[in-house]
């Protein structure tokens, strides 16, 4: 209960601090926001799938909507108005700001840089004078065709060293659009700790004609698989404790 209250409370605080972030005009920043757009991904799905009234077709669309929802991270990947530009070297920029409450302070270090093929964003958090912890790391190709966002739970240890269950635990979103138009996406909940018990993963593919498939894994075991055709009709199979259920749906 203790860790849930801390995690939810501090998480809410972070959203309050970061929501509404915008470019600081007086320092004329030159960084660019991430171009990933979940609505563009959902637009690749056939209308017959999105309009189907079958509960499994609706589940399929909802699974994809949930997997691509990075809004709380994408929207906050810009420094707020009170951020200070502390370092600028070519395309590399570092911005810092502090949020204080009841004698406690959270310092944020936000960095942006570019190379010949990618843009990079990162954010670290420091509680009072403690160690700096990872919060967010992301990259995207210059043309926006592929990228990755990693949200790291390490930062929760800044408030309580006993929260070791969160150490090296992360959410990872990755995507790539192939040259032929095939779109691949993955959402992963995992840990670099080999003894972890957290593993979850969504993988989906949308082909150029709108057909595609989605797989969901829990603790390395396939839990469900869905496929759909270009018209939106499809099939589903659930794997529950060795029992497999399957069926199909028609396009809307």
CA–CA distance, 21 with 38 (Å, rounded to integer):
20
**Has this prediction a pTM greater than 0.85?**
no
Average pLDDT of the residues of the chain: 83
Residue 28 lies in a domain: no
pLDDT band per the 50, 70, 90 thresholds, residue 21 = very low
- For residue 134, what pLDDT is reported? 84
Residue 32 lies in a domain: no
For residue 92, report the phi and psi dihedrals to the nearest 5 degrees: -85, 130
- For residue 61, what pLDDT is reported? 95
Residue 183 lies in a domain: yes
pLDDT in tens, 38-92: 999 999 999 999 999 999 999 999 999 999 988 777 776 788 888 898 888 878 8
* CA of residue 46 relative to chain centroid, distance: 24
pLDDT in tens, 140-156: 999 999 999 998 877 76
| Whether the predicted pLDDT of 3 surpasses 60 | no
Residue 244 lies in a domain: yes
Residue 34 lies in a domain: no
Nearest of 78, 79, 77, 74 to residue 39 by alpha carbon: 74
Q: How many domains, in total, are found in the chain?
A: 1
Domain ranges, residue 219: 2-18+40-249
- For residue 6, what pLDDT is reported? 43
What token pair was written down for 24? 């600081």
Residue 55 lies in a domain: yes
Q: What is the mean pLDDT of residues 90-110?
A: 87
Residue 23 lies in a domain: no
DSSP symbols for 195-251: T----EEEEEEE-TTS-EEEEEEETTEEEEEEEE-TTS-EEEEEEETTEEEEEEE--
Contact 223, 216 (CB under 8 A): yes
Residue 134 lies in a domain: yes
CA–CA distance, 88 with 72 (Å, rounded to integer):
26
pLDDT in tens, 186-224: 998 887 666 666 688 889 999 999 999 999 988 878 899
């Amino acid at each position: 209960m203790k860790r849930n209250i801390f995690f939810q409370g501090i998480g809410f605080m972070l959203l309050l601090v970061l929501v509404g972030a915008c470019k600081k005009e007086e320092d004329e920043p030159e960084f660019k926001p991430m171009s990933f757009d979940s609505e563009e991904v959902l637009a690749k799905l056939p209308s017959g799938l999105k309009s189907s009234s079958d509960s499994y077709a609706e589940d399929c669309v909802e699974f994809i909507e949930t997997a691509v929802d990075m809004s709380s991270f994408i929207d906050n990947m810009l420094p707020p108005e009170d951020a200070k530009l502390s370092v600028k070297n070519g395309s590399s920029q570092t911005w810092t700001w502090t949020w204080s409450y009841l004698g406690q302070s959270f310092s944020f270090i936000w960095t942006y840089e570019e190379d010949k093929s990618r843009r990079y964003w990162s954010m670290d958090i420091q509680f009072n004078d403690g160690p700096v912890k990872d919060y967010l790391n992301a990259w995207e190709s210059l043309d926006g065709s592929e990228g990755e966002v990693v949200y790291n739970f390490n930062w929760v240890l800044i408030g309580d060293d006993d929260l070791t269950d969160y150490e090296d635990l992360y959410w990872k979103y990755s995507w790539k659009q192939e040259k032929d138009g095939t779109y691949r996406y993955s959402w992963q909940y995992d840990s670099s700790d080999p003894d972890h018990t957290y593993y979850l993963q969504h993988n989906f593919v949308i082909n150029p004609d709108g057909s595609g498939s989605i797989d969901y894994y829990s603790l390395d075991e396939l839990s469900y698989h869905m496929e759909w055709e270009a018209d939106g009709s499809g099939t589903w199979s659930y794997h529950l404790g060795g029992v497999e259920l399957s069926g199909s749906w028609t396009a809307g």
